[in-house]
Amino acid sequence: MMPPPMVMKVQKVLQREMVREFLAELMSTYVMMVFGLGSVAHMVLGEKLGSYLGVNLGFGFGVTMGVHVAGKVSGAHMNAAVTFASCALGRMAWKKFPVYVLGQFIGSFLAAATIYCLFYSAIIDYSGGHLTVTGPIATANIFATYLPDYMTLWGGFLDEVVVTGMLQLCLFAITDNGNNPALQGTEALVIGILIVVIGISLGMNSGYAINPSRDLPPRFFTFLAGWGTQVFRARNWWWVPLVAPILGAYLGGIIYLVLIGCNVPREPQILENHMGSEDHRIPVLPKAVPRQTEIASHNSGSVSPLTSVSVSPPNRPSVRSIPPLSDSIRIQQF
């Protein structure tokens, strides 16, 4: 039995590359944020039921699950700063930037709404029905980051730049097959551990938003849900998690590519000569082979390897393919 025409049209739309990547970013970000915000809700509302370590684990392994959800489809960026760095450094086409970011923002907003519904009774009980942004019974910090009293605005800005730079630098290292990448199939776990380590070691000063998609959509949700304009007015902090991570990710990516990526020794290529009865292999110096570069994959918004050129006419040597970058996760982030 043939499916109805409307169903066929929907299936055709869902098979488009941009649509698949949009949905992948939406769902992966949703998964990450539900686990992350839920762990914050336990720390704020649950007294002994939650802890700062629990928040780090919630976001870290939330990222791991998000990578498993969408790593093969979009690369599971889940982070507008990582997406920006990918485009700015030539690893992804700019036309995909709004698609990825829109999916991330919608997924994050829906996750905030989900946590609000699940913990509504606990929020009202804890706050006495007063939804406040600051003070001893503040609950807006369940959903977005807020600067502590001891930090200045520009101190927090610098903190977000540095921490996000560390994130992006380590992400490039984890997925760089020409250096010392994570073992194939373990990238999602290693990236999750990276988020935990960042939170444990560098998260105190500004709450390590390190991700516009993690902070702005839930903040906007709290504005709509009853916390009011104070979510944007409190110390004028709202724009920092939007701007600073983008700058930090870009700088972190440049630092890795300039100081590490360009200096990693590459193994020489091997030419296979089939002209004789024996298989003669001739080493070729790396400089004689076109440099391996990364291009945006035709089937996904993440990075895919460019294999070396193979000369097909008979009696001519062919260059063996260059080992690809990580297959299970191309480029990632929180």
Task: Find the angle CA(237)-CA(243)-CA(245) to the nearest 5 degrees.
Answer: 105
Counting the structural domains of the chain, the total is 1
Alpha helices per DSSP H over the chain: 5-14, 17-45, 52-70, 80-88, 97-118, 120-127, 153-174, 187-202, 212-222, 230-233, 240-256
Residue type, 192: G
- 118, 37 Cβ separation under 8 angstroms: no
Does the residue 289 lie in any domain?
no
Looking at every residue in the chain, the average pLDDT score rounds to: 84
CATH number of domain containing 51: 1.20.1080.10
- Among the residue ranges 114-118, 145-149, 315-319, the one predicted with the least confidence is 315-319
Which residue do the tokens 């809700």 mark? 41
Does the residue 88 lie in any domain?
yes
- 244, 145 Cβ separation under 8 angstroms: no
Does the residue 288 lie in any domain?
no
Does the residue 305 lie in any domain?
no
Name, in order, each residue with C-beta under 8 angstroms of 199's C-beta and a sequence gap of 6 or more.
Answer: 52, 55, 56, 59, 60, 208
Does the residue 286 lie in any domain?
no
Does the residue 3 lie in any domain?
no
Task: Find the angle CA(147)-CA(122)-CA(47) to the nearest 5 degrees.
Answer: 65
Does 301 have pLDDT greater than 60? no
pLDDT given for residue 313 in this prediction:
44
First and final C-alpha spacing in the chain: 44
Residue type, 210: I
Task: Find the angle CA(40)-CA(22)-CA(63) to the nearest 5 degrees.
Answer: 30
Q: What is the pTM of this model?
A: 0.78
pLDDT given for residue 102 in this prediction:
97
Query: 7 or 106: whose pLDDT is higher?
Result: 106
Query: 132 or 276: whose pLDDT is higher?
Result: 132
Name the band, by pLDDT with cuts 50, 70 and 90, for residue 291. very low
Average pLDDT over every residue of 314-328? 44
The domain in which residue 255 lies consists of 9-260
Does 205 have pLDDT greater than 50? yes
Does the residue 115 lie in any domain?
yes
Average pLDDT over every residue of 310-320? 43
- Among the residue ranges 58-62, 129-133, 326-330, the one predicted with the least confidence is 326-330
pLDDT given for residue 290 in this prediction:
44
Does 50 have pLDDT greater than 60? yes
Does the residue 55 lie in any domain?
yes
